[in-house]
Amino acid sequence: MRKLVDRPRRLRRSPALRNLVRETKPSPHDFVLPLFVSEKIDQRRPIASMPGVFQLSMQGIVDEAQRARDVGLQAILLFGIPEKKDEQASGAYAENGVVQKALRAIKRKCPEIVAITDVCLCEYMSHGHCGVTRIDDDHFHVLNDETVDLLVKTALSHAQAGADLVAPSDMMDGRIGAIREALDADGFDQTGILSYAAKFASVFYGPFRDAAESPPQFGDRRSYQMDCANADEALREVALDIEEGADIVMVKPALPYIDILWRVRERFGKPTAAYHVSGEYAMIKAAAEKGIVDERAAVLEIMTSLKRAGADIIITYWARELAEWTRN
Ligand code: PBG
């Protein structure tokens, strides 16, 4: 009898055959579109380092949310740029803050879109750090517990304004448990928490800080964001957030941390998100503009890789385009 031999090439002969046996098939439902709303503008404003990304006005963000739904996306992630910043980040938890207003307006027009809000203080603090700071002997500290109190107020005000998921991105210790408790106590037991659980201190957030107008005025974020050298520590951080009540856990940035993504998905089996961040976006955009890579092919390869590595949800500035590119 003839010996049977494995011939993988048979399955690669045509596009239709390759499609049939493809293991990883990104679809519009995998992607979340980040949007920036600013209280200071009435016309959308381009972000120089991120071609195709804009700060939006209040009307603009409602239109964008509708457009996102119309192209087949089901979720957006909101960031706010307030009129005024101060040392208590009061704009972050004001009842009529920029995100709270945007949420109500979006939910009035498109109630079905999943509205996720970034819960952080850096955009609202005059010094641009993610928490309350104190400086002694030329050394600054971010005060963990004082910051958590403000994050809780912020998350609660987002839930009250209609957020489906709140996404704390600050990396303070104990904030997930504190937010979960406050949401439950206020009747928001159905509001979920997407935790930025393994958030690394990264050079790739640079363009975002232009977009959100939140560069730190002194120091850096390394005392509260993770060291890129540490994988086991990332797993411990994720475990803590899950124990405290996170419904979805996120790894950020995405591609340089794809090993962490894989381990988190394998170890915990929780819905897992990857944030393909501003600098990752800007690099491909810049290369594509120079004709070095084909943008669509590069983006599809990256997103397929992230999904293959375990991402159930991918937050990306290409979400709108990806909804089209992955529809069939
Ligand atoms: C807020 C926050 C940041 C990002 C998301 N939420 C910036 C930071 O931590 O410095 C970055 C997102 C991106 O780069 O696309 N803390």
Q: Domain of 299: which CATH number?
A: 3.20.20.70
Known active-site residue 199: yes
- Is there a domain that residue 6 lies in? no
Look at residue 54 in the predicted model and tell me its pLDDT.
97
Question: Which amino acids bring their CB within 6 angstroms of ligand 1?
Answer: 118, 120, 122, 130, 169, 205, 208, 221, 277-278
Is the link from the previous residue into 51 a cis peptide, with omega within 30 of 0?
A: no
Predicted confidence (pLDDT) per residue in 294-327, tens digit = 999 999 999 999 999 999 999 999 999 999 999 9
Entry pTM:
0.95
Q: How far is the centre of ligand 1, averaged over its atoms, from the C-alpha of 65 (Å)? A: 20
- Is there a domain that residue 17 lies in? no
Annotated catalytic residue: which of 85, 107, 252, 270? 252
Three-class DSSP category at 205: helix
Is the pLDDT assigned to residue 4 strictly greater than 80? Answer: no
- Please, which pLDDT band fits residue 107 given cuts at 50, 70 and 90? very high
DSSP, res 86: B
Q: List, in sequence order, every residue forming a beta bridge with 38; answer none if it has no partner.
A: 81
- How many whole angstroms separate alpha carbon 316 and alpha carbon 275? 6
Q: How far is the centre of ligand 1, averaged over its atoms, from the C-alpha of 148 (Å)? A: 18
Known active-site residue 101: no
Annotated catalytic residue: which of 85, 199, 270, 307? 199
**For ligand 1, what atom is nearest to the CA of residue 34?**
15
DSSP, res 3: P
- Is there a domain that residue 11 lies in? no
- Is there a domain that residue 18 lies in? no
**For ligand 1, what atom is nearest to the CA of residue 277?**
15
Predicted confidence (pLDDT) per residue in 262-274, tens digit = 999 999 999 999 9
| Total structural domains within the chain | 1
- Is there a domain that residue 165 lies in? yes
Predicted confidence (pLDDT) per residue in 141-181, tens digit = 889 999 999 999 999 999 999 999 999 998 899 999 999 99
Pocket test for ligand 1, best of 205, 220, 228, 280 (most atoms within 8 A of CB): 205
- Is there a domain that residue 137 lies in? yes
Domain that holds residue 148: 23-327
Predicted confidence (pLDDT) per residue in 43-97, tens digit = 999 999 999 999 999 999 999 999 999 999 999 999 999 999 999 999 999 999 9
Dig out the tokens for 290 from the structure.
Answer: 């120079």
- Is there a domain that residue 194 lies in? yes
Say which residues have a Cβ less than 8 Å from residue 320's Cβ, sequence separation at least 6.
Answer: 33, 67, 68, 71, 73
For the chain, where are the alpha helices, taking DSSP H only? Answer: 15-20, 58-70, 90-93, 98-109, 144-161, 175-185, 206-211, 232-244, 258-268, 278-289, 295-308, 319-325
Look at residue 294 in the predicted model and tell me its pLDDT.
98
Task: Please name which of 219, 221, 222, 218 lies closest in space to residue 230, comparing C-alpha atoms.
Answer: 222
- Is there a domain that residue 101 lies in? yes
